[in-house]
Chain A
Amino acid sequence: MSTDPKAPQPLAEVLAFRPPPAEAESYLGDDPAANAELLDNLLAGASEAAGALYDRFAPRVNGLVWRLLGADGDHDDVVQQVFLAILQSAERIRSPEALPAWITQVTVNTVRKEIRRRQRWRWFQAEAAAQPTDHGPDGEDQLLARRFYQVLGRMTPDDQLALSLRYVEGLTLPEVAAACGYSLATAKRRLVRARTRFEKRAQRDFVLAAKLEGWRR
């Protein structure tokens, strides 16, 4: 994505996409007045609501899905599922202030379902146990990320999410708990367990093992 705001944009992009607001806070969807307006539109079934929802939360949802699934090939499908789930459950949002947190939760839940779905399908593949996951980054310059998500892919969905949210997404413990719908104590316990399991598996991967060893020294 171009970082220069003055760089010319393709015409189709200019026509189809409203530029994000200038204020970073509003861009992240934390502006209560704008959230109230958006929620009104969603509840009233206004025809522009879906577009407005996307314009407002696309960066947040995309970033989260991208880092939870690891630059996945089905990224766009999953993002679409997230937005559809939000639209379908809009009436359960109690107040505009809860909208950003709700969106994070729906995103995490949708990704969890997606991971479970993939794991179920791997049961039907004869050599699934020996195979790495069928998703994740594949560029030559993403070796570490690829290995990381391969190891992560062999863990339970809850462990995967807890680790990604905490260490890749960089959330604090209370934020991880809120995003996953856990209590703080459960989140702590789950993270400790996930970390232990990850380190055990990472020792069998020479790239990750070397990296972790290097940091230890």
Chain B
Amino acid sequence: MSQAMSSTSVQEQPVENYLNWQKGPMSWWMSVDHKRIALMYFVSMFFFFLIGGMAALAVRLELFRAGDFFTPQTYNTLFTLHGVIMVFLFIVPGVPATLGNFLLPLMIGAKDVVFPRLNRLSYWLYVLGALVVGSCIFMGLDTGWTFYAPYSVQNRAAVILAALGAFILGFSSILTGLNFIVTTHKMRAPGLTWDRLPLFVWSLYATSLLQVIATPIVGVTLLLLILENAFGIGVFDAAKGGDPVLFEHMFWFYSHPVVYIMILPAFGIISEIVPVFSRRPIFGYKALVYASVGIAAVSFLVWGHHMFVSGMSNWARYIFSFLTFSVAIPTAIKVFNWVATMYKGSISWDTPMLYAMGFVFMFMIAGCTGVHLATLATDAHYHDTYFVVAHFHYTMQGGTVIALFAGLHYWFPKLFGRMYNEKFAKFTWLMLFIGFNGTFLPQFALGMQGMPRRYHDYPVEFEPLHAISSVFAGINGLAYVLILGHLAYSAFWGKRASGNVWNSLSLEWATPSPPPHDNFAEIPTVTEWTYGYGKAPSSEKANNPAMA
């Protein structure tokens, strides 16, 4: 404490930055500064992340042994809570609302997003939506996060409230997307042409397009679900002549693209980290850009793979399977490019790079098991089993969350002007890696054996693998607590960091860390692309941007 006090003295810290620019809770709540809004998103999202995580651990506790620990009803509420919180309150706002909000203006050399007050409204809507969704905790919402009708037409009050909350959160998402699109178009610093844009900005741009185009559809769907519950309009309820499969179509028409809203920014983070820590230009910049935009476009055409066994027509199944495979190719290209970027690089094993490499490993598993699920013959066996559970946790946790933590460690000195303890960070990385893989690898085997998902109890032959999974889930959970605790501690009391710890070349590092309220004293002019890292062999010309 005392050390922290003394270190706030004038000579050590820039006199003014966004953290100390104004004081008091209201200066945060009313702030239109994208950096402060990003931090508030961080705090709120990680709060819900921990609650959702506790629900997950409770779920694993129930499944540790065959037989009941909680009542079936409690279990159903717990996995619903886990899903609803993690999807709507954590991973959908996810990277764009936190790192995206903080970095987008900095990376394009702008003083803020183009509509700062709209940005604040996005956050307020997020808080409002989160409170509405959170209140379902006390109402026994037990539909799963997917709200399939007609089951969701039976627990009316809780479903109305949850759908309303998700509806509000949808607006938060749409407004953020809109803000980012216009910001990227209108606020880039002079000389920062589209082909010089950092890949993280490109990925945010592709994500924002999805947010703006896809989210209204889930808005309509949720509104219909609310009306169905409140007034029995009979759109989805078969008992009233409605079509429950229509709900699935409408739901997944949004909820498949939303998977890419979650993962595209994660790709962007990895594309930033790999070249910095390999001291080498990113390999295949254009391919990575086209892959991001390509994935965003194709993501609208593949929702049917969530419905291969839903009773949809056979030809629809065949065609959706074919289309689904087209997502695999741009995704594979990205992985090849990251690995190629490491070739003949100068690779440091700092924590962000360890996270990035962990990401590549886990995302390979996620991608390959996705092929099992895109294939019709095997999906018939795997659909709605633990194979699917393991697959999407590999994409969402092994992919997005790991990338978010990669980015958080990479940009941590940017955010707070302080450093975490490198050794402890590496230790917790290893713990997370072991905990995560130990939790979800056995679940692939469970799925192969035929263990259905959302079961509070199971035939005893599934017990050994469930037990292993539960034990590692504990390690996984503890790792998150340690990582977040450590980062929170370091944000206040970590060692002071230099302005550009990693010698990065992108614009966000061309201003002090933590950045001043206005980001840049003077808007920079860009003359080179962002990725001119490393030192050329004597024959090649060094490629150093002017802003370095």
A and B associate: no
Q: Which residues of B contact A (CB under 8 A)?
A: none
Q: Which residues of A contact B (CB under 8 A)?
A: none
